Structure 1
């Protein structure tokens, strides 16, 4: 009788041990589910960043995130501070009035300046304000210049919108503004992505222009995303 009781007690103890282990593992599960695995991306700019005249999924930041997902690098949806028509001053004012929702992001992009050029604003002003914006972008990336990328200003002079205008002069001015933002970017050890040559292919390929006849199409943004994604992948 004692032997039977001993065996029964042993099985009971074993059952309790297994049950406790299961309970412990079950209770520990929430610690394994880590929402921090999804990285964060802040996109600063103007109409080219917000994707004027294309679907949200066709914006270059959104397409970049989709490409990275194919490499098992998961991002939350990009956060945008960008509005069509913004100059560098407009973007600075917007950041001051409504700062980003987070203090630090895993990656930040900056593309700004076409409206400075279009409105005939000075290059000296642009240089000063772009420098300030890039410093803020680096700050939003946790003071890590390697987690920031600047995209050059596209050449809108090749689009139907520029019909009747001096396309050569527009190209010359765009190049001048890009020379400024490139030098500032490199001086701060930030990655510079020159998408201007790609934007100029719209001169002979209408599919690269959105329905408004001015902004890039999703197809053109896809090319920018293909250049940006490897930069982000290498930086993380």
Structure 2
């Protein structure tokens, strides 16, 4: 509960580890259902898939999963960020905004919450990789919506994500552009037509991996004193 330390998922055994114990390279994941992996038949969301790749750079790397299905920026600010501040971390993954868009929350609230999250993450003292919102207007479920309006709103929110990333020197991954490049690829969505499938999360991790790998490799080089 509120006083408990966060738990971390071991990439080797898939168990919950006590983050108060000595640790290796630790990744914090903040966000929504895409962090949790809703829709995937197996393998989890993009953080779990990135973690398996990170094991090649940092053996024993582990994941502290703070993301929650259905979360908005307000939920990250109120529930996830306080736990993040209590956890050791070497890298933070932040993917949020999909539910803010879907619930049509005010743009001003989204921008304010995101800025407060970014300010709070300074206390974690770890590099942050933030991804913007994919073009969900291309999702099968969006066929019954006004796609042009939905897409315009996503782009507006993404403007705030990109500006926040620039202000706080976060690494930014353009999932909006990546999703457009993948449009028409079969099998990327699960049966609900909204959440990614296992293949969709693989594609998501593919888009994020170059940025994550660069940060992780830099940390590994610093730890060994190499360049």
TM-score (norm 1): 0.75
- Report how far residue 43 of structure 1 moved: 0.3
2: CA distance, partners of 1:38 / 1:85:
30
C-alpha distance 130-56 of structure 1, shift in aligned 2 (>3 A)? farther
The corresponding residue for 1:198 is: 178
Of 43, 63, 72, 1:87 maps to: 72
Q: Deviations over 1:81-129 (max 9, x none)?
A: 1222211112222136x62484330000111111111111111111110
2-side partners of 1:36 and 1:73: how far apart?
15
State the alpha-carbon separation in 2 of the partners of residues 194 and 170 from structure 1.
Answer: 18
**Structure 1, unaligned stretches of length 5 or more?**
1-34
Aligned pair partner of 1:64 in 30, 33, 50: 50
More helix by share: 1
2:164 aligns with: 184
Determine helix, strand or coil for the equivalent of 2:62: coil
- When residues 92 and 37 of structure 1 are mapped into structure 2, their CA distance, relative to the original with a 3 A threshold, is closer
Q: Do the aligned partners of 1:152 and 1:194 also contact (CA within 8 Å) in 2?
A: yes
Provide the residue aligned with 1:28 in structure 2: none
**Superposed CA offset, 1:6-30 (max 9, x none):** xxxxxxxxxxxxxxxxxxxxxxxxx
Give the match's secondary structure for 2:195.
Answer: coil
Distance change in 2, residues 1:220/1:161 (3 Å): same
Q: In structure 1, what is the Cα distance between the partners aligned to 2:43 and 2:135?
A: 23
- The Cα RMSD (Å) is 2.2
Distance 1:227 1:198 in 2: 7
TM-score (normalizing by structure 2): 0.77
Q: Secondary structure at the match of 1:207?
A: coil
Residue in 2 that maps onto 1:7: none
Unaligned runs of 5+ in 2: 1-20, 220-227
What SS does structure 2 have at the residue aligned with 1:154? coil
SS at match of 1:108: strand
* Alignment of 1:123 onto 2:107: yes
C-alpha separation in 1, matches of 2:49 and 2:194: 20
1:221 is aligned, of 193, 201, 205, to 201
Range 56-65 or range 43-52, more displaced: 56-65
